[in-house]
Chains A and B, each alone.
Chain A
């Protein structure tokens, strides 16, 4: 493994040497033979699927291991030259500042100012000096004018900036970001990556980013990418070198879409093409094969359209007079469609789902199910036709046993126990949970719990499923599992609506997308058309797909069509 040449003479700020870690509660070590150095001022990206040990690695760097989580350590780890025995969690936290994935839970203060000051308070800094430091650091992350705002008034991006300022007040050397993009919409995520880049350059911090959405992080330069798999570091190279290998795909990580496109087009990727970032890619040398591939693709097959199953007409909703949440929303969903509903945080997407399910009532307009108004249907009646799956399965599951959980809706409705058994088993089979039907829910992974919640909807035999962020916080492998499962349900005739931030999901799985911004519908088209429309992307905080930018840079005749071809090609590969 090569360190970067110019920094070789320096002493590393973080150094792992033959390092292994095993939680006391686990049978196998979570980290094995970890061996790498991070030098002051470097910017490192660590990628790897869930369960690969990335979070554990982060805990080792920020000191939660060994101070908060106990286990067996072999080998050595030094941070700023000190082993854990020579230091303490508090001392470590003055060197390494951690921005957690869930910036809402990290927000412990009642206002931005208090939250940023938290660490200074614990350090007994006198108030005048504390106020001055807080103001200065808040300015660095553009939060200086919002010091008295409460967390309820902030967007996800602003909460994350607050969290960042909260660790920068300690003047830490290393900033550790744990999945910084997980809870942000695409544009806000892009801004976050920009900010991290600026902090890196302007304040000479060492940056470690742990994230599986590699393409979005590589929007800005990073020095090295470490790939972790099954507790081992399997690759430690520059982005240019990494994307040329097949290591990402092989280990269940997502590689940048434009890289996949180049590989489909038969381009022999080599580091001297600088393919690590789309900006640096030597486009002249890949134009030819891209054009050839483009010309060879069959035209987009037209699919037959089903009857309209759900029709929303001029829907308006507001909680209070001042804040109009939904304004004159109209659209049609056809039977058998898979549709994504996208847009900024707080644009009204979740409210739209709530109105459709009858949780709140529209102020004007109407919703038709198979041409019939459902205005007078109760929540309970609607749930027989339209199932709603929340983002966090832990918020839905109320029974300790899987079977009982799935049976709950039927039992409440007084269905005979014999029929319940039959229907529950059927739903569990569809969801691949049948072998586990007698297990306790607690024994399941996050993705399996998600399936339980979907099974508990399917058991009522709904025609439409609405899912809120079905893949949030999931790595590529689990994402693919969940989405393929949903696609399977869809092919069995269930119409699926998904609220999502994930542009990949939208592009790869939902031919039809509805865009909501500021309570209005601003787009209702194919996902490909929407993700290649610059003005739409800007209004709704979306991000153009890198496929489109690749096609534009390569001056292909119809970039939008190129994106469509890519999606069709992938679909053909899968089936």
Chain B
């Protein structure tokens, strides 16, 4: 059984060949940029940039399809709820009111609100591909090494790696236990009432937890016996050393971030672009 947490398929291109650290840094820098700025003129180029990188990385649509649907649904719900709960937030924010049309007395659609919500959608849309890129183009083995090299304690970083290692085992155990419990008459199908079903699922988690605890002792012994925690630092077999392209990628992202900050300081005089004060 080859179950993996997320499907990593090795490819040979610019994005894949970057070190995990680079990808993590770029992801963080660009996310910060997009989260900081409320200027569509800044965010739209980043959006285009992130979709372009997604294209360059040769990730197949099938790989991100499900994730993408979830995200779109999330964005849509978020859009509707924002309007429902604070329909006039844009007016507050930009200090003017250009009413387009009214749905009811409370729910009037304004240009300010549309700009505000539109900007948020673009923000989400530009960050999501970057996150997917990081997950799908970083070798899981390298992931821990990347975390550790940006200052996360290596024990915490290794815990991430261990999770990736043993997660599929847990899934397999869960399935086996579920089957054995079903053989004893436990009904996990929709035929059973929700309350009973939840109780029945508990009957699977108890043995799962106990059999997993058995393993923890063995694993921690195995790690102790091979010197885990001996020194304050450790090296990583899967670490990809930084090369020229990594420098280029980081420089590019830093440049984008600086440009966004420059726009905020010198043009917008704040985080928001306000086209309504003419």
Residues of A participating in the B interface, judged by any CB pair closer than 8 Å: 62-64, 67-68, 89-90, 93-94, 98, 100, 102, 104-111, 113-114, 117-127, 130-131, 134, 150-153, 166-167, 170, 354, 357-359, 379-380, 382-383, 387-388, 390, 392, 394-399, 408-409, 412-413, 456, 460
Contact = CB atoms under 8 A, between A and B. Distances in A.
B184 A122 contact: no
B140 A110 contact: yes
Interface string B149-172: 000000000000110110011000
Contacts of A151: 165
Interface centre among B169, B206, B227 (most CB of A within 10 A): B227
Given A120-B235, A122-B234, 7 more contacts: A90-B227, A111-B141, A131-B237, A152-B1, A359-B179, A394-B210, A409-B185
A380 B224 contact: no
A383 B238 contact: no
The 7 closest A-B pairs by CB, nearest first: A117-B237, A412-B185, A122-B227, A119-B226, A105-B218, A409-B184, A106-B222
Interface centre among A64, A68, A379 (most CB of B within 10 A): A379
B210 A126 contact: no
Interface of B: 1-4, 140-141, 161-162, 164-165, 168-169, 173, 176-177, 179-187, 202-204, 206-208, 210-211, 214-215, 218-219, 221-231, 233-239, 241
Nearest to B205: A398
B155 to A, nearest CB: 11
Interface centre among B176, B179, B226 (most CB of A within 10 A): B226
B222 A105 contact: yes
Contact of A126 (B186, B226, B235): B235
Contacts of A408: 184, 203
Contact of A152 (B3, B210, B226): B3
A124 B233 contact: yes
Nearest to A92: B225
B158 to A, nearest CB: 8
Contacts of B180: 388, 390, 395-396
A412 B140 CA distance: 43
B183 to A, nearest CB: 4
12 contacts: A93-B225, A93-B227, A114-B141, A122-B227, A123-B227, A123-B230, A124-B231, A124-B234, A167-B225, A380-B182, A396-B181, A456-B184
Contacts of A117: 237
B237 A398 contact: no
Contact of A64 (B177, B207, B224): B224
Contacts of B182: 359, 379-380
Given A100-B221, A102-B218, A395-B180, A120 B185 contact: no
B76 to A, nearest CB: 34
A553 to B, nearest CB: 41
Contacts of A63: 225
A90 B226 CA distance: 7
Contacts of B203: 398, 408
B205 to A, nearest CB: 8
A122 B230 contact: yes
A79 to B, nearest CB: 13
B229 to A, nearest CB: 7
B181 to A, nearest CB: 7
Nearest to A167: B226
A211 B173 CA distance: 27
A134 B165 CA distance: 20
A64 B237 contact: no
Nearest to B184: A409
A100 B165 CA distance: 18
Given A105-B215, A110-B161, A121-B235, A394 B207 contact: yes
Nearest to A163: B222
B223 A108 contact: yes
Interface centre among B140, B165, B223 (most CB of A within 10 A): B165
B199 to A, nearest CB: 11
A352 to B, nearest CB: 14
A341 B238 CA distance: 41
B235 A127 contact: yes
A394 B204 CA distance: 11
A64 B217 CA distance: 12
Given A388-B183, A413-B185, A68 B221 contact: yes
A379 B173 CA distance: 18
A487 to B, nearest CB: 24
Contact of B2 (A113, A131, A152): A152
A394 B214 contact: yes
Contacts of B235: 120-121, 124-127, 130
Nearest to A151: B165
Contacts of B224: 64, 67-68, 89, 93
B12 to A, nearest CB: 14
A62 B225 CA distance: 8
B3 A357 contact: no
A149 to B, nearest CB: 11
B177 A396 contact: yes
Contacts of A68: 221, 224
A90 B164 contact: no
B189 to A, nearest CB: 9
